[in-house]
Amino acid sequence: MKKIIAFLMILGFASSSCEPDDICDPNTPTTPRMLIQFFDISNPSVAKNVTNLKVIGEGMTEGVIFTPDGIDEAKYLTSGTSILLPLNTAADIVKYSFILNSGNKNPLLINTDNLEFKYTRESVYVSRACGFKTTFNLDPGNPFTLSDAKPADEMWIKYVIVAQHNITYENETIIKIFF
């Protein structure tokens, strides 16, 4: 009888030290990026493709990767109607340079505008496997600054609208840029 009790105790201790697999499902929403869409300034309801847009964050040397399987400079360029940009999870501000026609052989066609986004951060528990994610809320009083030292008529970004202040998912348009 003592052997059976000892065996059950050993079995109990051994099985209590087992842990379930803690693997975060790739489909679990984690820290969202900010969805920015581009529109035609002359017809604001029509989405417009940017041409060879490169976005470089403050402190970055290469830029945001839009095409992971691209070669060399091509991985930093996009020509779509929308982009996803990460926000800084360690600060309440992020600055990006938006370079239109990046890599063009004619330097007069390359145009850079700078946008600064201000927000607050909130850590949200996702699960034991995934840990925490950060959600963002754009500053309601001053969510962005379009800062350039050049005259407004030389800027390619003509107008910016905040479509939504809360950034909790990647499938919701947050910023609309008109050019």
Q: How far is CA 104 from each of CA 33, 53, 54, rounded to the nearest angstrom?
A: 28, 11, 12
Q: In the chain, pLDDT over 70 holds for what percent of residues?
A: 88
Instruction: Tell me which residue of 177, 137, 142, 147 sits closest to 161, measured CA to CA.
Output: 177
Determine the 3-state secondary structure of 161 from DSSP. Answer: strand
Q: Which residues lie across from 82 on neighbouring strands? A: 37
Say how far apart CA 159 and CA 179 lie, in whole Å: 7
Lowest mean pLDDT among 3-7, 14-18, 102-106, 154-158: 14-18
Quick one: pLDDT at residue 10? Answer: 61
Task: Count Cα neighbours of 134 within 13 Å in the Cβ-side half-sphere.
Answer: 14
What tens digit of pLDDT does each residue of 36-74 get?
Answer: 999 999 999 999 999 999 999 999 989 999 999 988 999
Quick one: pLDDT at residue 19? Answer: 47
CA angle in degrees (0–180, nearest 5) for 21-22-26: 115
Domain boundaries, the chain: 28-178
Instruction: Tell me which residue of 50, 75, 78 sits closest to 65, measured CA to CA.
Output: 75
With 0-12 / 13-18 / 19 or more C-beta atoms within 10 angstroms meaning exposed / middle / buried, residue 2 is exposed
